[in-house]
Amino acid sequence: MGHTGAMPKATTSRARRAPDAEREVAQLRALGDATRWRILRTLSGCATQRCACDIEACFDLAQPTISHHLKVLRAAGLVRVERRGTWQYYQPERQALRALANRLIELGGTE
């Protein structure tokens, strides 16, 4: 069976959503770093928010390095932060993570 060159209508409409694609690429880039992946896994394993100082205690990295990685994850929309006085509490942005996971599953298609 040959390729007709035409994309299915649903795929065409998805391909036109450039902002979605840009967001997904930014999220994948953020997850492409082993430290950020580990930070996100640490946060995902918690039922509640975690203080930045608790996150830092899990890693053998300087505080500015952890802060940088948290900032990248926040900018990609993969974690959210809540300030309480001088403390910052992080938690995964579960809806964004599910949306990204679903997009990757869609790429796998059906067989």
Quick one: CA torsion of 95, 18, 106, 77, rounded to 10 degrees? -20
* CATH at 25: 1.10.10.10
Has residue 9 been placed in a domain?
Answer: no
pTM: 0.79
Has residue 111 been placed in a domain?
Answer: no
C-alpha 11/C-alpha 52 separation (Å) is 40
10-residue mean pLDDT series, the chain (111 residues): 52 64 92 96 89 92 95 96 94 94 86 61
Query: How many domains does the structure of the chain reveal?
Result: 1
Domain ranges, residue 54: 19-106
Has residue 91 been placed in a domain?
Answer: yes
